[in-house]
Amino acid sequence: MIESETLKVGTPLISADAISKAYDKGQLKVPVLRGAGLSAQRGEFISVIGQSGSGKSTLLHVMGLLDSPDAGEVLLDGNRIDNLAPAARDQLRNHVFGFIFQFYHLLPELSLLENVMAPLMIRHSLLGFWKNRREIREAALQITEQVGLSHRLRHRPSELSGGEMQRGAIARALVARPEILLADEPTGNLDAETGAGIMELLQRLNRDQKLTIIMVTHDESIAAQAHRTVRLKEGRIQGVAWEDAA
């Protein structure tokens, strides 16, 4: 049937529908999201722009199951995922999403290679890790090479530059082959040139591996490098600006 075909093609990979969320501030409930909606097709690179405090991180955390909405739904391939039991939710989060953050959040005691291996180590029991250690190491080496850090494997995060730390964080986010990368101000702590290198890497991953990316930023010129930019304002996604792929 043509109709169901159309429906199927149109189903976004991920969507957040009418998301509301408020935080308690003393006796007050402060609304942050008030019916925000956003969806991404597979392979899209979307940027969400908004001022500091507009709820960008909150929206990203809700979409990636790091936080729950007060109202609204998150759908993956058309199936609701925000209301799953905690174990199923954790499992899904670890398989579907990769996250990167402004301040990298690498573990300081581990080498770069160990940081990149960590998500795969966490996924296995100790025995499972031991059995699969070669493949795990191989996967980490491969993705570390893809982000251009093969020469830094044994370095601790404190021995890396900001750009190298973010490349390492990207490798860690992608080592378990997530479908969706959620990026929270990934260039926010980097100088313009280093930030441009990170944006080139994200664009390459999106183009070559069809990685779906949702990136939040307060920087217009960074946002403009996605396929499509939406604006978060007053708790809602406002206008939709279509742009040519950079």
CB 218 to Mg ion: min, Å: 8
The Cα–Cα gap between 195 and 13 comes to: 27
State the amino acid at position 146 in one-letter form: Q
The alpha carbons of the chain give a radius of gyration, in whole angstroms, of 18
Residues that bind ligand ADP (CB under 6 A): 23, 32, 50, 52-58
CB 153 to ligand ADP: min, Å: 32
The Cα–Cα gap between 76 and 95 comes to: 12
The Cα–Cα gap between 89 and 115 comes to: 23
CB 29 to Mg ion: min, Å: 20
Residue located via tokens 């009418």: 18
Look at residue 6 and give the partner it binds from Mg ion, ligand ADP, none, a contact being a CB closer than 5 to 8 Å depending on partner kind: none
The Cα–Cα gap between 207 and 189 comes to: 25
State the amino acid at position 97 in one-letter form: F
Smaller CB separation from ligand ADP, 148 or 188: 188
Look at residue 130 and give the partner it binds from Mg ion, ligand ADP, none, a contact being a CB closer than 5 to 8 Å depending on partner kind: none
Residues that bind Mg ion (CB under 5 A): 56-57
Look at residue 183 and give the partner it binds from Mg ion, ligand ADP, none, a contact being a CB closer than 5 to 8 Å depending on partner kind: none
CB 124 to ligand ADP: min, Å: 31
Smaller CB separation from ligand ADP, 53 or 128: 53
Q: What are phi and psi of 148, to 5 degrees?
A: 80, 35
Look at residue 227 and give the partner it binds from ligand ADP, Mg ion, none, a contact being a CB closer than 5 to 8 Å depending on partner kind: none
